[in-house]
Amino acid sequence: MRYLYSFYADAAKIAVQSILAHKLRALLTLIGIIIGVAAVVVVGASISGLNTYVMDKVSKVLGANHFMIARMAFSGRMSDEEFERKNRLNKKVVWDEYEYVRDNCKTCSEIGAQVWGGTDLNYDGIDFPAVRVLGSTANMLIIEDKTIAEGRFFTPDEVQHSSRVCVIGNGVREKLFPYKNPIGQTIKVRGVPVQIVGIEEKRGSLFGDDLDRHLYIPITLHSQIYNRSDGIQLHGKSATREDFQAAIEEARLHLRNKRGLAGSEEDNFGLVNVEELSNQIDQFTSAIAAVVVPITLITLIVGGIVVMNIMLVSVTERTFEVGLRKALGATKKQILLQFLIESALLCVIGGILGLAVATGITKLITILAEITMTITIGYIILSIGISSLIGILAGLYPAFKAARLDPIVALTTAK
Instruction: Report whether pLDDT(115) > 60.
Output: yes
Statement to judge: residues 102 and 247 lie in one domain: yes
Statement to judge: residues 122 and 175 lie in one domain: yes
Q: What is the 3-state secondary structure (H, E, C) of 234-245?
A: EEEEECCCCCHH
At 99, is the secondary structure helix, strand, or coil? helix
Evaluate if pTM is beyond 0.85: no
Establish if 83 belongs to a structural domain.
Answer: no
Question: Total structural domains in the chain?
Answer: 2
Q: What percent of the chain has pLDDT over 70?
A: 80
Per-residue model confidence (pLDDT) at position 350: 82
Confidence class of residue 215 from pLDDT cuts 50, 70 and 90? very high
- Pick from 268, 300, 320: which residue ends a domain? 268
Per-residue model confidence (pLDDT) at position 317: 67
Establish if 325 belongs to a structural domain.
Answer: yes
Average pLDDT, the chain: 81
Establish if 79 belongs to a structural domain.
Answer: no
Sequence-distant (≥ 6) Cβ neighbours of residue 210 within 8 angstroms: 171
Statement to judge: residues 195 and 259 lie in one domain: yes
- Pick from 216, 240, 268: which residue ends a domain? 268
Establish if 288 belongs to a structural domain.
Answer: yes
Establish if 75 belongs to a structural domain.
Answer: no
Confidence class of residue 3 from pLDDT cuts 50, 70 and 90? very low
Statement to judge: residues 254 and 284 lie in one domain: no
Statement to judge: residues 145 and 23 lie in one domain: no
Instruction: Report whether pLDDT(7) > 60.
Output: no
Establish if 112 belongs to a structural domain.
Answer: yes
Statement to judge: residues 258 and 285 lie in one domain: no
Query: Could you read off the pLDDT of 223-250 as tens digits, one per residue?
Result: 999 877 778 999 999 888 888 889 999 9
More confident position, 42 or 251: 251
Statement to judge: residues 229 and 374 lie in one domain: no
More confident position, 301 or 410: 301
**Rounded to whole angstroms, what are the CA distances from 192 to 151, 165, 166, 299?**
21, 10, 11, 63
Across 132-136, 270-274, 311-315, the highest mean pLDDT is recorded for 132-136
Establish if 157 belongs to a structural domain.
Answer: yes
Instruction: Report whether pLDDT(113) > 60.
Output: yes
Q: Count Cβ atoms below 10 Å from residue 280 Cβ, excluding itself.
A: 13
Confidence class of residue 152 from pLDDT cuts 50, 70 and 90? very high
Statement to judge: residues 218 and 114 lie in one domain: yes
Statement to judge: residues 302 and 386 lie in one domain: yes
- Pick from 268, 297, 314: which residue ends a domain? 268
Domain holding 130, by residue range, is: 91-268
Statement to judge: residues 288 and 263 lie in one domain: no
Statement to judge: residues 404 and 294 lie in one domain: yes
Establish if 341 belongs to a structural domain.
Answer: yes
Q: Are 10 and 17 in contact (CB under 8 A)?
A: no
Statement to judge: residues 201 and 293 lie in one domain: no
